[in-house]
A and B are shown apart, each in its own frame.
Chain A
Amino acid sequence: MKNPSPGWRFSFLGIILSVFPLLILARIIMVQANPAQIKELKAYGDQFAWEPHNIIPARGQIFDRWGNILAGNETVYEVGITLAEVRNPDTIALICSVVFGLDYDKVRATAELEARPDQVYRVLTQTATQEQIDQYEVMKERVLQDSPKDKDENPPSLRGLSYLKRLKRVYPEKQVGANILGFVNGDGIGYFGVEEYFNSLLADKPKTIWLPKDPQLLEDVPEVPNGADLILTLDRQIQAQMESIIDNAIDENGAESGTIVVLDPETGEILALATTPRFDPNEFQNYGQVFPPGTQYNPAISQAFEPGSTYKIFTMATGLDSGAVKPETSFLDTGAFEIGGTTIYNWNYGAWGPQDMQGCMQHSLNVCLAWIATQIGAGDFYKYMDTFGIGQLTGVDMAGEVSGRLKTPGDHDWYDADLGTNSFGQGVAATPLQMATAASAIANDGIIMTPHVVRSMIHNGNQQDFELRTLSTPIKKETAHTLTEMLARSLETESSDALITGYRVAGKTGTAEIPTPYGYTSNLTNASFIGWGPTDDPQFLVFIWLEKPQTAIWGSIVAAPVFREVVEDLVVLMDIPPDFVRLKLYGQ
C-alpha cells in the first residue's frame, strides 16, 4: 500500500507560518506609514520616556570678614499630601502626629479635603529633619507589612503622603547681626537687610529639567550654579559685643531702644551695627511678635530722628571750612539769639559769656552755633549739609534705608528760623548711619566713603572685592584735623565720661528733645554720642543712640559712658595698641 505523501501538510504549515509574518509586516507598515498614528503613539510614549528633575540651587552663604558663616543652609524636608491619592486619612494623621509631631486633627482635616483643580496638594510641614524622614520610612514599611491581606473596606494606607528634599536657611549666630542680615522666609525669599538687598544674587532660580529614562539617550544635567556667597565687612565678635553693650545700656538707663554704629571711616566698612529689638531669624515666623507695626527692623538705617547736639559738628565744620569762623574766633554768649522771629536759647537757658569756637563746642552752646550758621549764610550752610549727605540716602547695601529730612530754602515748610534750629540739630531728621557717615568726613581727612556692609562676592569660584567708593568730600583735610583737635580737647577739658585711658578720642554728645504734634512738649529725649579715634589715625567711628532714657536725659550722662565701654572693647578686638605704644612702635 502506498504511503500518503506528507508534502501537503508541510506546504500548509509553510503557508500559515508565512502568512503570520506577512500580516505582522503589513501591520507594521500600516502603523509606521500612518502619520496620525505615529503622532499619537509618540506622544503616548513620551509620557513615560522622560522624567522631571528638579534642581534647587543652594542659596549663597554669608560670611563675616574673617570667614565665619553668618547664614548657611541645611537640608530639611517638605511633607505634603496629594489629596486625590489619599486612601486613609486616619493613617496619615496618625503617622504625621507620631513622626513629625503635627496635630492629629489638623492633619486629618487636611487629608480629608476634596481634591479639586485649585486644591491638589497641601503642605503639612516644611521643616522635617532627616531623622524624622528615616523614622517615617520605618513606619511606612511597618504599615505596609501589618496591612491585613483580606479585603478590608479601608485598610491602613499612607498613599498621598509624600516628602520633598529642600534647603532651609540657617543662621548659626542666631540673634547676632540679625538686623543686618535680614531673614529668608519659607518660600526662600529674603526680607530686610542683606538678604533682601542681594536676594537675586544670593538665590538662583530653581530649574526643572526633563531627563530621558532611556539611558542610551543620555543627556547632560546642566549645572545650575548656586547663589553667590557674600563676605561682609562685619566682625562677628565686635557685632556680638556691641549687641551685648547696647542691651546692657538699655537695661541700665531704661531706654526704649538703642543703636550702636561702628564703622571704619577710612573705607566706609561697617564693622558692627547693633540695634534693638532683635530676633533670631531662624524663627522668622515670630517676626510679627517682635516687630509690631511701627517698629523698624533695623532702626540704624530705617528710623530717622532729630539728632540734637551731635549735629553741631557739621555746623562747626561748615563754619571752619567756609572761613566764616576760625577756632580762635570769639563769641559773646548772651544766652539768647533771635533768628527769623524765633529766639534760640542754650540747653540750660544760661549765658556763657565770651567763648572761642572750642568753648562753643565744649559747652554745646545752641546760641553760638545759631550765630555761626548766620555767619555762614543759608545758601552755603545747606550746600554743605547736602555734601555731608544729610537728607539723602547713604546708598548702604541693605534694604530699607530711609533718607531722613532736611528742609532747605525754597521748601514750602522752610522758614528763616530753621537755619538757627538746624544748626544745633533741631528740625532735621537723620538716621544713625547717616550721622555716622557724615561724621566720617571729619575723621577721614574730609572724605566720606560710601558705607557698606558687603566686602566681597564669590561667584563661579572667584572672589570679587567690591570697590570702595567715595561718596563726597564736604570739607578740606585741614578743617577735618582742626575740628578733630577741637573736639578731642573739648572732651579732655570736660573730663568726659567718654575718655579712654591710653587712647585719644574726639567726640560730641547729643541730647535732643523729641518733637510731638504740639512742639517740643515732651520731657523725653534722644541721647547720643558720636566719636572716633585714635585722633591721629582714626580707625573706628562710633555713633550711639539711646531712645528715651529714663535715668537721665543727657547724652553726656547716658551715652558717653557707653562710648567708652564700646571703645575699650574695640581696641582689644581690633588690636589697636595704646597711643604711646603705637607711636613708639611706629617710631622704631
Chain B
Amino acid sequence: MVRGSNLKQAHSQAPWRIQRQLIGIVLVAIIFGMLAAYAYLDISARSTAIGRRILTMQSAVEELQQINEDLRTQLALITASGVMEVRAKQMGFRTITTEETTFILVPGYAGRQPVQLAPQASLPVAQNTSSKIPAQYTESLLEWLGRQARTPLFPTLLRVQP
C-alpha cells in the first residue's frame, strides 16, 4: 500500500516520469524489432542475391560447356584428315615410302600408344553426390539460429588410444 501510494504521489507530482518510462519501453521494443527486421532483411537479401548469382553462374557454366563443345568440333573440322592432306600437299609434302624411311631402335620406347583421354577407371575418383549449395543459402533465420544453438562452443577433444 505504501508503494502504491508512492507511485500515485510520484504521478501526481511529475506525471511525465511514468509516460517517459512507457515511451522508453515502447521505443526499446521498436528498436529491437527493427534490429531483428534489419538482420532478417539483410540476410535474406544477401542470400537472395547470392542465389541469383549461383543461378547465373550455372547458366554460364552450361553456356561455356556448349561453347567448348562447339570449339572442339570446329577444331576437329579444320584438322580433319582430308583437310590436313590438302594442306600438306599445298605445302609440298607427300607420303613417304618404306625405302625412304630410316628406322632406328630407341631403347625403352614402345612405339606410339593409343590415346589416353582420361584417368583409367581403376583409379579411385572422388564423387561428390551431396548438394553443392551450402546450408546458409537455403535455411531460414530460425533454422540458422537453431543450427548455431546446436553447435558446441568448443570442439570436443577425442582421446586417441595409443
Contact A463 B133 (CB under 8 A): no
- The tally of residues in A whose CB lies under 8 Å from a CB in B reads 54
Question: Is B19 located at the chain interface by the 8 A CB criterion?
Answer: no
Which B residues from 70 to 122 make CB contacts under 8 A with A? 70, 72-77, 79-82, 85, 95-98, 101, 103-105, 111-112, 114-121
Contact B80 A172 (CB under 8 A): yes
Q: How far is the CB of A89 from chain B (nearest CB, A)?
A: 32
Contact B103 A577 (CB under 8 A): yes
Contact B82 A174 (CB under 8 A): yes
Contact A463 B80 (CB under 8 A): no
Contact B121 A463 (CB under 8 A): yes
Question: Is B132 located at the chain interface by the 8 A CB criterion?
Answer: yes
Q: How far is the CB of A505 from chain B (nearest CB, A)?
A: 14
Q: How far is the CB of A503 from chain B (nearest CB, A)?
A: 8
Give B34-76 as 1s and 0s: 1 = Cβ < 8 Å from A's Cβ atoms: 0000000000100111011011001000000110011011111
Instruction: Return chain B residues, CB-CB under 8 Å to A231.
Output: 114-115, 117
- From B10-18, B23-31, B123-131, B144-152, give the one contacting chain A: B123-131
- From A62-70, A330-338, A360-368, A509-517, give the one contacting chain B: A62-70
Give A36-70 as 1s and 0s: 1 = Cβ < 8 Å from B's Cβ atoms: 00000000000000000000001001010111110
Question: Is B32 located at the chain interface by the 8 A CB criterion?
Answer: no
Give A213-230 as 1s and 0s: 1 = Cβ < 8 Å from B's Cβ atoms: 001111111000000010
Q: How far is the CB of B88 from chain A (nearest CB, A)?
A: 11
Contact A460 B127 (CB under 8 A): yes
**CA gap between A72 and B76 in the complex, in Å:** 8
Give B135-161 as 1s and 0s: 1 = Cβ < 8 Å from A's Cβ atoms: 001100000000000000000000000
Question: Is A103 located at the chain interface by the 8 A CB criterion?
Answer: no
Q: How far is the CB of A575 from chain B (nearest CB, A)?
A: 7
Contact A460 B54 (CB under 8 A): no
**CA gap between A585 and B107 in the complex, in Å:** 11
The chain A residue with its CB closest to the CB of B72 is A72
Instruction: Return chain B residues, CB-CB under 8 Å to A63.
Output: 115, 117
The chain A residue with its CB closest to the CB of B96 is A572
Instruction: Return chain A residues, CB-CB under 8 Å to B47.
Output: 215-216, 218
In this complex, the interface size class of chain B, counting residues with CB under 8 Å from chain A, is 35 or more
Instruction: Say which residue of A236, A462, A568 sits within 8 Å of B81 (CB atoms).
Output: A236
Instruction: Return chain B residues, CB-CB under 8 Å to A170.
Output: 73, 76-77
Instruction: Return chain B residues, CB-CB under 8 Å to A502.
Output: 98
Q: How far is the CB of A202 from chain B (nearest CB, A)?
A: 14
Instruction: Return chain B residues, CB-CB under 8 Å to A575.
Output: 103, 111-112
Contact A73 B73 (CB under 8 A): yes
Instruction: Return chain B residues, CB-CB under 8 Å to A176.
Output: 80-82
**CA gap between A240 and B81 in the complex, in Å:** 8
Contact A74 B114 (CB under 8 A): no
Instruction: Return chain B residues, CB-CB under 8 Å to A577.
Output: 98, 101, 103
Assuming A63-B115, A231-B117, is B81 touching A461 (CB within 8 A)?
Answer: no
Q: How far is the CB of A278 from chain B (nearest CB, A)?
A: 13
Contact B101 A66 (CB under 8 A): no
Contact B81 A458 (CB under 8 A): no
Assuming A58-B69, A216-B51, is B114 touching A65 (CB within 8 A)?
Answer: yes
Contact A462 B120 (CB under 8 A): yes
Instruction: Return chain B residues, CB-CB under 8 Å to A216.
Output: 44, 47-48, 51
Contact A588 B73 (CB under 8 A): no
Assuming A221-B58, A577-B103, is B115 touching A67 (CB within 8 A)?
Answer: yes
Instruction: Return chain A residues, CB-CB under 8 Å to B114.
Output: 65-66, 231, 455-456
Q: How far is the CB of B55 from chain A (nearest CB, A)?
A: 7
The chain A residue with its CB closest to the CB of B127 is A460
Contact B69 A172 (CB under 8 A): no
Q: How far is the CB of B22 from chain A (nearest CB, A)?
A: 18
**CA gap between A215 and B49 in the complex, in Å:** 8
The chain A residue with its CB closest to the CB of B73 is A72
Q: How far is the CB of B81 from chain A (nearest CB, A)?
A: 5
- Number of A-B residue pairs with CB-CB distance less than 8 Å in the complex they form: 135
Instruction: Return chain A residues, CB-CB under 8 Å to B79.
Output: 68, 172
Give A558-582 as 1s and 0s: 1 = Cβ < 8 Å from B's Cβ atoms: 0000000000110110010110011
The CB with the most chain A CB atoms within 10 A, among B55, B58, B70, B114, is that of: B114
Q: How far is the CB of A584 from chain B (nearest CB, A)?
A: 9
Question: Is A537 located at the chain interface by the 8 A CB criterion?
Answer: no
Contact A215 B52 (CB under 8 A): yes
Assuming A240-B82, A571-B98, A572-B101, is B77 touching A458 (CB within 8 A)?
Answer: no
Question: Is A112 located at the chain interface by the 8 A CB criterion?
Answer: no
Question: Is A173 located at the chain interface by the 8 A CB criterion?
Answer: yes
Q: How far is the CB of B73 from chain A (nearest CB, A)?
A: 4
The CB with the most chain B CB atoms within 10 A, among A65, A215, A231, is that of: A215
Question: Is A137 located at the chain interface by the 8 A CB criterion?
Answer: no
Contact A462 B95 (CB under 8 A): no
Contact A72 B69 (CB under 8 A): yes
Contact B51 A69 (CB under 8 A): no
Question: Is A237 located at the chain interface by the 8 A CB criterion?
Answer: yes
Contact B125 A462 (CB under 8 A): yes
Which A residues from 406 to 456 make CB contacts under 8 A with B? 455-456
Question: Is A162 located at the chain interface by the 8 A CB criterion?
Answer: no
Instruction: Return chain A residues, CB-CB under 8 Å to B96.
Output: 572
Instruction: Say which residue of A67, A72, A221 sits within 8 Å of B117 (CB atoms).
Output: A67
Question: Is A75 located at the chain interface by the 8 A CB criterion?
Answer: yes
Q: How far is the CB of B58 from chain A (nearest CB, A)?
A: 5
Contact A462 B118 (CB under 8 A): yes
Contact B51 A237 (CB under 8 A): no
The chain B residue with its CB closest to the CB of A237 is B81
Contact B73 A229 (CB under 8 A): no
Contact B127 A218 (CB under 8 A): no
Contact A75 B69 (CB under 8 A): yes
Assuming A571-B98, A572-B96, A572-B101, is B73 touching A74 (CB within 8 A)?
Answer: yes
* Interface CB pairs A-B, < 8 A, 10: A65-B114, A69-B73, A74-B69, A165-B66, A170-B76, A172-B76, A176-B82, A216-B47, A218-B51, A460-B125
Give the top 10 A-B pairs by smallest Cβ distance, nearest first.
A67-B115, A69-B76, A172-B76, A215-B51, A464-B121, A72-B73, A218-B51, A462-B121, A463-B118, A577-B103
Q: Other than the known A63-B115, A456-B114, A572-B95, what 16 A-B pairs have Cβ atoms closer than 8 Å?
A: A65-B114, A67-B115, A72-B73, A73-B73, A74-B74, A165-B66, A167-B69, A170-B73, A173-B80, A215-B51, A216-B47, A220-B133, A236-B81, A463-B119, A502-B98, A581-B103
